[in-house]
Structure 1
């Protein structure tokens, strides 16, 4: 999550990832976990957590200052680079080149910040963070990134995404 984090954002993330609903009252009461011996109050992963959208054309245009043609160009550049990055991520992982992998994922994550690709952006961010922290679950995060890249590639192959951008352009509305 980007910093600073508000208490309401923290409460929402806790609910989203654990299913635990923080109650009102003083902060010490709101964040107190239930007694683990009380099985009625056990924390369980939330079933409401859904996979993020693969692509948001609206977000892409918003990130491009409302310019659909620029958003389309940035999205096209991301797709082109992503084909190379997919193979590169796998190669760097096989070679156990974590510094090279961090560099590759950092660049990919930066590119996702300019396009409406929430799932890929989140996966890249999580792997980048895990690499920086030398987290024990790197393999899981790498697989999540590769899966997000593959879903985006499939979506782009099966969708006339250029037309979706053009339908959102101001010229499309006046013609």
Structure 2
């Protein structure tokens, strides 16, 4: 594995951090689980919206959508997906098509990885 491979950067992060999720939920395990399930159930539609913005080269829209998604990922204890979405948001804010393409791919990979746990 190459050290500069962007996939490896996210893959080294845990898909789920139970401790962080519990802390974000104020110690409420049931709420932590509910937040994760809500995130997972909304991911297919959110990924479609990211792909649509990417396909339209709508960099401001893509950045805003990624920013909104981070609102959920920050509280769910999903470090790899959160980091991938953050990187996508940064790429979209500067309007870098190559980094945006890679960013959406990495968000998809990390979402799939999270869904598999």
TM-score range, shorter chain: 0.7 to 0.9
Contact 1:82/1:108 (<8 A) preserved: no
Q: What value does the CA root-mean-square deviation take over the aligned residues?
A: 2.3
Pick one of 72, 82, 85 that aligns with 2:43.
82
- Which residue of the partner structure matches residue 148 of structure 1? 110
TM-score, normalised to structure 1, is 0.57
For 1:133 and 1:91, the matched residues in 2 are separated by: 18
CA shift digits 1:94-146 (9 cap, x unpaired): 12222221222111111111011010000011111111122352222221112
Question: Do structure 1's residue 66 and structure 2's residue 27 form an aligned pair?
Answer: yes
Aligned 1:149-164 pairs, distance under 5 A: 149-155=111-117
For 1:89 and 1:137, the matched residues in 2 are separated by: 14
Q: Of the two structures, which has the highest relative contact order with CA contacts closer than 8 Å and spacing of 6 or more?
A: 2
For 1:99 and 1:70, the matched residues in 2 are separated by: 32
TM-score, normalised to structure 2, is 0.82
Pick one of 99, 102, 125 that aligns with 2:63.
102
- The secondary structure found in structure 2 opposite 1:137 is helix
Aligned-residue offset at 1:71: 0.8
Gap runs ≥5 in structure 2: none
Moved >3 Å (runs of 4+) = none
Please state which structure has a larger fraction of its residues in helix: 2
- Which residue of the partner structure matches residue 171 of structure 1? none
Gap runs ≥5 in structure 1: 1-43, 156-175
- Greater C-alpha radius of gyration: 1
For 1:151 and 1:140, the matched residues in 2 are separated by: 16
